[in-house]
Structures are given as structure tokens and as C-alpha cells.
Amino acid sequence: MTAGSGATSEGNVDEAGATTGVEDSTSAPDTDGVKFDAPSGGTVSSGDDGDGSCGCNNTNWSYVWVANSGEGTVSKINTRTLVEEGRYITRPDRAGNPSRTSVSIDGKAVVVANRHVGIVKIWARPEFCVGGNTSTGKADVKPWGTDDCVAWFADFPDKTVQRPVQWSPGVLNPATCEYEHQKVWTTTGALGNGPGKCGESGVWVHRLNGDTGEVENELRIPEAEFACDSSGIAIGYGPYGGAIDAYGNFWFQGSGNQKLVRIDFDSFDYEIFNGGGYGITVDTKGRVWTNFVSRFDYATTTWTSGGGLGGNGGIAQDLGGRMWAAGDSANFNPDGTVFWIDMETMAHGHTVMLPTGGQVKGVSVDIDGYVWAVAEGDSRAYKIDPHTYALEWYEGLNGPYTYSDMTGGQISNVLCNPPEG
């Protein structure tokens, strides 16, 4: 048993926690792996650190962005200090029901998708904002239209549901060490019998200009090919989660229709495969994972099952080559847990018990290699040391329901460690 600590919104330790694990013969790797390897060597910072290096992910700051779904906001939590440094409204009427968050490759911005439709881009640092009037924490939520770090809002007024959202990296300019022409992927559905639902509409895939929020590319996949409403009574959820591979191609899946879709970045053509799930990620070998736990190899179009270890939550690769996923009461790992498996053998490694009774939804890995977990309805965001399994947490969330690449770790990992060949 290892001791953990909780931090309030002011960053003061106020509560003791503990973590226990379901041990087996597989132990944590004996590495200090908290750094990425750059594709061509060198460091992985974005911008000039004085050593001539640039490219890959930014390591000068690190945040986890957690949607407070019920109150219509997103929290920006410093992963190193466990202090909430900002909280922002995600839709003008504050009724968007946000859930999915995605951090850009350079760590400069987040995009947040509202399940009741609409995407907002928020700058991560005050120096990127248009002015100095911006939230400083949980108790300082600025009225809509007044926070200078809210860059743009893209509405989809004729749609009724929107869940997946994912940055693509754009192109690195070696002269400036900046990523240019970054895009944002998302999907929508329509004809739902209420906000956050869809009817037999098929689904729309949109690609937005990351600088302006303008929709630059769009396609519709017919209902017969990818059912937005697997219920048949206009209460479908549509696509559930999205991720990108090392080439910027967009992957998303449906939790109800058991379909997986790949959108080619260049041609915008799509392919549909049988098999889906809940959480989704792409590993550094270009394989797609869903949290049941299953692995899809695009080269052979085959699935490999992990034996039903996971559940209805997120999934993310750490920096040691292991896959972390959320547990589920109906499977081997119960609610309130996260666990890892070996990415090649699919063997179960270690289960970490969190001091929560809620089902873990969000699982993400930050740029320093720490695993983050957020349970549905819990007020805490948990930080897990992937080697010792020690816990820390931030406490102060309000009705969170969040997952996807909420730290930027997935996009950084696949871009900084692309598959060979």
C-alpha cells in the first residue's frame, strides 16, 4: 500500500488517500521513463529552448483538461502542481453538457466538444490570449464572451449530438519551431429526440481550421453504413470517441453499432470496419485500441481481444509501452479501477484501486508519463505514478464526465514515436 495525497483548488494538501493493487506476476517496469524520444533524436520541446532543438510536444507546461459536464465548464489543472489554474464556460448558454477534450500537439490549446453540440477552443496560457481578462481558477469563471483565452466557438445548430473531438498536428515549421495549419476533427448527428441524442440521420464528419474554427471539410456517412441511432427510437449516441494516428488520419467508433471508421487525412475517403467500443486510442505502432480491451491492426484488418478486461471508459498508452484502461463492474477489473496490460501479449499487468465508488471514464497519460483518471461524478482527478502506483489528486471538480486525450499525451506519443516503415 502506498500513500497518496489530495490537493484543494488552492493546492493545499487536505486529505489522505491510498492505492491498492491486484498483484500478479507482472511487476512495474524498472525505468524512469518520463520523457518521449523524438523521431529524429534530440529533445521534444516546442519552441527554442536555447539548444537549437524543436518539434514534437511541448514540455514547458502540462495540463489536464476535465469537463464539468453538469455545470457546462472545463477545468484546467496543472499536472505538476495539482492546482486548477482556470475554469471556462464551454457554450454560450452554459447548457452544452461538455465531455470530450483534446489538447493540441504543442500544448497551447484545448478544444472541448459539447454533447449538446458546439466546440470551443481555449488557449492554455495567458501569453497566447488576446488580453489579460481570463479565469484564474475554480471560483473565477468569466461570463461568456468576456474571457480573453476563449479563442473561438463553432456551432452546429442543425445537429443534435456531438461527441468525438481530436486535434491533428498540422505541419512543423522548422524555422519557427511552430506547428502550422492545425486542424480539429469532430462528428455530429441529427434528428435526436433531445439534446445529446440522434435519430436515423447517419453521421457527419467535420474538419475545422484550428485557428478560426471554420469548417473546411465535411462528409456524411449514411445511416445504413454507420448508424447514428442504433436504438431505432431517436435516442442514439452516434460516434462515441475519436483519435488520430501518426499520419493525421481520424479514427472513431460507435458504442452501439459496433463499427470503427477511418477517415483519410488527405483524400477524406472513409473505411468502415466491424468492431467498436467506448474509449478509443491509437498506439505508437498505428494500432487502434478500444476499452473492452481490443486491438485493431489496420494492416491486416484483424482484431485481437484482451479477454474482456475493460469496460465503459477511456484507454491510453503510457511511455513505457503499456496500455492503461478503465475497469468496469461487469468485467475482471471493477468500478473505481484503472489497470494496464502488455501491448503485445495482452497479458494483464496491475490494477490500481482508486478511492472512489464511481466508474472511471477518463484515462489519459500526460507528457511526463503520469496516468490520469477521472471517475463519473467524483470530484477528484487522480494522478497515478505508472511505476510505483502512488496516488495524488486534485479535488474540486463538479460532476465530471470526461475522457479522450485530455492531456495531449496521445497525440504527442504517436507523433513523437511514429511506427517504423
pLDDT, tens only, 386-420: 999 999 999 999 999 988 999 999 999 998 888 87
Any idea what the Cα angle at residue 142 is, between residues 106 and 410, rounded to 5°? 25
Number of neighbouring beta carbons within 10 Å of residue 345: 10
Q: What is the pLDDT of residue 329?
A: 67
Domain ranges of the chain: 2-416
The model carries a pTM of 0.88
pLDDT of residue 362: 95
CA distance 88 to 55: 29
115, 101 contact by CB (below 8 A): no
Residue 338: partners with Cβ closer than 8 Å, 6 or more residues away: 324, 325, 326, 327, 351, 352, 354, 360, 363, 371, 373, 384
CB 16 within 8 A of CB 390: no
SS3 of 366, please? coil
Top-level class of domain 2-416: mainly beta
Strand partners, 186: 165, 206
Q: Can you list the residues of the chain whose pLDDT is less than 70?
A: 1-53, 57, 308, 329-331, 421
Percentage helix, strand, coil, to 5, in the chain?
Answer: 5, 40, 55
Backbone angles phi and psi of 281, in degrees to 5: -150, 170
Phi, psi of 149 (to 5 degrees): -95, -5
CA distance 343 to 323: 6
Amino acid occupying residue 403: Y
**Tell me, what's the pLDDT at 273?**
97
Cross-strand pairs, 111? 102, 121
